[in-house]
Amino acid sequence: MFVLINLKTYPCDPVAVAEAARDVDETTDARIAVAPQATHLERVAETGVETWAQHVDPIDYGSNTGHTLAEAAADAGAVGTLINHSERRLKLADVDGAIRAAERAGLETVVCANNPAQIGAAAALAPDAVAVEPPELIGTGTPVSQADPDVVEDAVDAAARVDEDVTVLCGAGISTGEDVVAAADLGSSGVLLASGVAKADDPAAALADLVEPL
């Protein structure tokens, strides 16, 4: 299982969460990565944890002010990037452009979407993975695997019908090891996490609990 921790713009110490993630990663078969803000990419990557960007723009080197260039994220230590998170939705053509930009810079890609139909659409753009996150469950603490298990299974089916090479993650409300196991049982290859770890008093303990059943 791939466990990707999105630090959003939370008031957490990104380096402390990154070190916790790195340490827990060494104790488990799960693959753990951390996605900090662009300004923190370098500091997080220096901890040795697998580092992801939260977003890259559909641009190349050139006259772009206030954008995130995939090459700059890679140069700062990122090895992958989220694209089209529900808090950073992109136009269809720009999802395509952002995937191509990430590929060009050697970044792995996870494209987020709200429902199985959009997961199929995202898969047709040939990212490495897609992640289904029903917006109404984000931040609720109610895991998608429990609140709406069909959406995970349907997303896995939708992606497989379009491109069998695209793996499927799920997110929204996941905070316990049981949730992660349930996600795996529904066909998911990984989970997106955020507040459950990033806002925990003890991120290492929260993560250890999370991957313990795996």
Amino acid, single-letter form, for residue 23: D
Integer Cα distance of 167 and 35 in angstroms: 19
Contact 190, 2 (CB under 8 A): yes
Binding site residues, a second copy, CB under 8 A: 6, 8-11, 37-43, 54-55, 59-69, 72-73, 75-76, 82, 84-93, 95-96, 113-115, 117-118, 120-126, 138-139, 158, 161-162, 194-195
Rounded least distance, CB 92 to a second copy, Å = 5
CB nearer to a second copy: give 120 or 207: 120
Integer Cα distance of 188 and 16 in angstroms: 28
CB nearer to a second copy: give 120 or 183: 120
Handedness of CA 4, 35, 55, 128 (dihedral sign): negative
Question: Which of these, 48, 142, 127, lies nearest to 84 by C-alpha position?
Answer: 127
188 known ligand binder: no
Integer Cα distance of 21 and 7 in angstroms: 12
For residue 85, indicate whether it is catalytic. Answer: yes
Rounded least distance, CB 54 to a second copy, Å = 4
Binding residues, by number, are 6-8, 138, 173, 194-195
Binding residues for substrate, by number, are 6-8, 138, 173, 194-195
**Residues tagged active-site:** 85, 133
